[in-house]
Amino acid sequence: MSHTAYIGIGSNLESPAENCLKAVERLNTHPNLTLIARSSLYQSEPFGITDQDWFVNSVVQLTTSLSPEELLRACLSIEQAMGRTRTKKWGPRIIDLDILFYDDLILKQEGLEIPHSGIAERSFVLAPMNEIAAEFIHPKLKKSIQTLLMEIPNPQQVNRLSSDG
């Protein structure tokens, strides 16, 4: 059975735009993932810990036969292969892959929450996702991505770089 998933991609170390594009390529070449859409790259101010370089972010839409847990393992494997080391929450990172949505699933378990928590407060997720899936309805909040983006309480500054990085 095929499922639709949205993955948030972010980087702010070394060559962030290049890192994001490499992650998209790795997702696209995974045998159980099919890339359907990719947003442009966006530059955004840091969230949480603000004393660090700005991030480059993107969102991809995939279809997959993987379960949510298997998809998480695939994302973590790509992060590890690209040199990700987890030091501190919201800190600098070479690559970050987050499962934002998986069909209209609502799931909360150790190490995995779908939809990803905090989406409604994160311009750097909503802006790129709005580009490829504006009408997608958040399964918990029952609002479209476009509506969530317009209603964001304290938007971070997010600038579209280009469709190619």
**Active site (catalytic) residues:** 84, 93, 96, 98
Q: Is-contact 91 58, C-beta < 8 A? A: no
Chain center to CA of 152: 17
DSSP-derived letter for residue 1 is -
Label the pairing between strands 55-64 and 33-38.
antiparallel
Name beta bridge partners: 83.
none
